[in-house]
Amino acid sequence: MTAQIAPTAVGCDAEFRFDGAIGGIKVPQHAGPERKDFLWKTTCFEIFWQPIGGTFYREFNLSPSSRWAAYDFDDFREGACDAPVDAIAVSCSYSDNELVLRASIAADLPSPAQVALNAIVEHNDGAIQYWALAFPPGKPEFHSEACLQLVVER
């Protein structure tokens, strides 16, 4: 998996790319673009955005279906609520050996920030893989500061 993110004047643009046997994973069917919870229960891509020096952070869940979610947290897994978002556009294309998800997010994203780019991949047999730039020791935990490996500035 490769992932990249770039700040924009109104938020950020991101791209996630898998190369390999895409037929072996569950790819959610295309649906209308809408806010939807629990996208992380199957193949999904995530962005965590935390202002440097702060405890507040924002989580974006981006599904190949074009559905999305955005949450604000006051601190590590505390104070979760729907995050205000002006717009999110998600597009996904895939073939037998490649899946590419692109997202354009219009939302207030403080800068500079520590950012994590993550993926959950559900295989056809139900097995789940977790991908991140880094994980803390033990069970994969996307909300950990250990995952926030990129510094993004406008």
pLDDT digits (tens), the chain, 154 positions: 999 999 999 999 999 999 999 999 999 999 989 999 999 999 999 999 999 999 999 999 999 999 999 999 999 999 999 999 999 999 999 999 999 999 999 999 999 999 999 999 999 999 999 999 889 899 999 999 999 999 999 8
* Distance (Å, whole) CA 140 – CA 57: 18
Walk across the sheet containing 98-106 and list its strands.
Answer: 2-8, 11-19, 98-106, 87-95
The amino acid at residue 37 is D
Q: Is 0.85 surpassed by the pTM of this model? A: yes
Q: Check residue 66 and give left, alpha or beta (phi > 0: left; psi -120 to 50: alpha).
A: left
